[in-house]
Amino acid sequence: MRHLLRSLGEAPGLAWDSVRRAPLRAFLAVLGIVIGIVTVVFVTSVLTGLRNQVALLFREFGTDNVFAYHRTGDPYQRPSEAEANRLPLDPGLAAALPPLAPAVRDVAVQIIVPVVQGSRVLTARAEGNESDTILVEGQSPNYLDVTSGALEAGRPFTDLEDRGAAPVAIVGANVERALFGARGAVGRELSLGGFRFTIVGVQEKRRGGFFGENRGDNVIAIPRGAAQRLFPDAKETVLYIRAEPGQRERALAEARAALRLLRGLRPGTADDFNLSTADQIIAQFDRLSAVIGLVTVALAAVSLVIGGIGVANVMLIGVAERTREIGLRRALGARRSDVLLQFLIEAALLSLAGGAVGVLLAGGIGFAISRVAPTFPAVPAPWVVAAGLLSSLGTGVAAGFWPARGAARLDPAEALRRD
C-alpha cells in the first residue's frame, strides 16, 4: 500500500514532465480522444434531452389514452404509399365506441384542417399582425379534458358551440404572442381563411416537444362542427380514447375490436387503422435513439482507438527516452510493479486530460446552443459527463499497458548502459 501511494503521488508530476518536454506530441496523441469524447457526450446529451421531451410531449396527452388514426405515423406527415388510400376515421365513431367498449371512458375528436386551401396557405390575421406558421384543428368540447390540456386564460368550447359550428377559437401560446403580443387574446377576434373567430381561450405553453418545439403552441383550435362546416376538405381525424382508470390495455383491445366492427372489416383481414399509446410511441423513439446511439458510439470508438494509439506511441517514445531513468529507479530499489504502475498512471492521466477537454468542449457547445435556443436539449447530464471521463480513462489504461509492461521488464543493468 505504501508503494502504491508513493507511485500515485509521483505519477502526476512525472506525467506533467513528459507533457512539458513535448507538448505538441502530447496534444496530437490525445486529439482523437478529445474528438471521440466530444462526439459521444454531445450526441448522447441531445438524444437524452430529446427523449425526455418526447416522453413529456406524449404523456401530456394522457397516459391512460389510446390514440386512433387511420394510418401509422404522424398525422401531419405525408402518408406512405401502402396507406395513402386508407379511409379516414369518421368523427362519429367517438360516440359509437363507448357503448361497444366498456373499458373506454370517453373519446375526444381532433380533425386536422389542411393548411393549404386551394392554392392559398391558411394565414391568421388580427389587429395588423399575421402568422402563416399556424396549424388549424377542429376539436370536440371534451378534447382538453381527455388530453389533460390546460388553459392559460379563458374557457373550453361548449357542446352548444360545437353543435352550432360557432365561430370561436382557442389559440396556442405562440399564436397569441404572434398576433397580440403581451396584450392577451381572450375576447379578441382573428381572421382565418376568410372567416372571423372570437377567441375564447388560450392554451398554456406546452412543456414537451421535439428539438425544443411543440406544435401545440402553434394551433388554432375551432369547434369540431365549425371545422366540418367551414373546411369540408378536412377529413384527417384522430380519436383520443380515454380508458377507465387502470384499464388502458383492455380499452385498447376493445377499441380495436369495436373499430374493426364499425369499419366493416372481415375476420382475418388486416386492420386499416392504427392504435397506439404514449408508451408505445416513446418506445419507438427509444429504438430509433438506440440506433443513432450505436452509430455514434461506433464513430466515437474509432476516434478513441486512434487516440489510444496516439497515447501508446507517446508512452513508447517516453519509455525509450527515459530508459536510463527507469534503470536508475530499478537500481535504487523500485520494483517492476512500481514502474508498471507509474507508466499506467501517466497514460491514464494523459487520456483523462483529453477526456476532460472533450467534456468541456461538448459542454461549451451545448451551453452555447442553449443560449441561442433555450429549449434545445444539449447540455450534458452528470451521468453523461461521468461516462465520457470513464471512457477516456479506460482508453488510457488500455493504451498504456503495453508500453508500461515493456518499461517494467527492462533489465536495470542494460537500461543504465544505454545512451
pTM to 2 decimals? 0.68
C-alpha cell at 380: 450534458
- Confidence at residue 393, expressed as pLDDT on a 0 to 100 scale: 83
Of the chain, the percentage scoring pLDDT greater than 90 comes to 27
d(CA 213, CA 209): 5
- Confidence at residue 191, expressed as pLDDT on a 0 to 100 scale: 93
Per-residue pLDDT tens for 316-343? Answer: 776 666 666 666 666 666 676 667 777 7
- Alpha-carbon 48 to chain mean position: 5
C-alpha distance across the termini of the chain, in Å: 34
User: CB-based contacts of 35: which residues, under 8 Å, 6+ apart?
Assistant: 303, 307, 358
Q: Which residue has the higher pLDDT, 409 or 313?
A: 313
Burial class (CB in 10 A: 0-12, 13-18, 19+), 408: buried
Domain boundaries, the chain: 2-57+284-417, 71-272
Which runs of E-coded beta strand occur in 114-253?
116-117, 120-121, 124-126, 129-131, 135-139, 151-154, 168-171, 189-192, 195-203, 219-223, 236-243
- Confidence at residue 21, expressed as pLDDT on a 0 to 100 scale: 66
- Confidence at residue 276, expressed as pLDDT on a 0 to 100 scale: 85
